[in-house]
Amino acid sequence: MINGKTRTCGLIGNPVEHTMSPAIHNNLAKQMDIDLVYVPFHVEEGRLEDAVKGAYALNILGVNVTVPYKSDVIPFLVDIDPLAKQIGAVNTLVRKDGGYKGYNTDMPGLYRAMVSDGVQLEDREVLILGAGGVARAVAVMLADKGVKEIIIINRSADRAQKIAEEVNGFYEKQLVKVLALSDVNKLEKKKYLAIQATSVGMHPKVDEAVIEDEAFYKLVDVGYDLVFNPRETKFMKLVKEQGGLAYNGLKMLLYQGIIAYELWNDVVVTKEQAEVIYEIIRG
């Protein structure tokens, strides 16, 4: 029951109408008996600073940030978590004195999803498909978790090279390498964890994958597609056809939301509670 003590959290982005986040947060609040309501806020281009200051003025407890504002929001924060600063993107704002502190829960969310699926990262050799902002964030997270090697595969080697130089510079070792999409047949014949970090596989490209060559998928024993709609992408099907395990991005969505919820409410969500929410959003 909403009353005078109910706290508000929400999501700012453009668009926000398709979001699953209210289902995560409102069901968590109900399950944990916390007096909180979560709503989406559609923020028009050019109104981001107004939205952040307005949310603070309205005593809003916490805010998620989605596209296209994950980097643009940073100048309007009073503080930023070191991981979010290194990634260069913020998706969670936590209320502090004088304003909001920015966090990135997307990558910790991906890591927690992988742990829940029994995927080990330490000393693994990992392929990242794509070289956008998400791929950069994934590379930072993987480097932080002690993988042995990261190979970024992208059509434009220049974009991938920029990410490699940034991450290698930060960690002061030659951890990240680059491979042009056209040279994918030059990969060493061993088993890799592959992370699909592009929008290929989403509507309208549901019948496409960045790489469609069966020989590539023979090298993949675990594939993670950060796309969660459709539930099984072409990338995932190709991984499974060659005997690998394949996962979509729904658990990453779940856990980024859970970590944000934990930050706002100073609570710990149990594995059992997380599983209940996962079944709700999976539908």
Sheet holding 220-225, edge to edge: 176-180, 149-154, 125-129, 192-196, 220-225, 245-247
What span, in angstroms and rounded, lies between the C-alpha atoms of 277 and 31?
Answer: 9
Residue 231 near residue 250, CB atoms below 8 Å: yes
What span, in angstroms and rounded, lies between the C-alpha atoms of 38 and 64?
Answer: 10
Residue 91 near residue 65, CB atoms below 8 Å: yes
Alpha-carbon dihedral 218, 224, 229, 232, rounded to 10 degrees: 30
What span, in angstroms and rounded, lies between the C-alpha atoms of 147 and 220?
Answer: 16
Catalytic residue (one of 30, 70, 145, 234): 70
Count of alpha carbons within 13 angstroms of residue 271, beta-carbon side? 5
Is the Cα torsion angle 264, 267, 271, 275 positive or negative in sign? negative
**Widest Cα–Cα separation across the chain:** 63
**Is 70 an annotated catalytic residue?**
yes
Q: Among 164, 151, 228, which residue's Cα sits nearest to residue 193?
A: 151
- Residues designated catalytic: 70
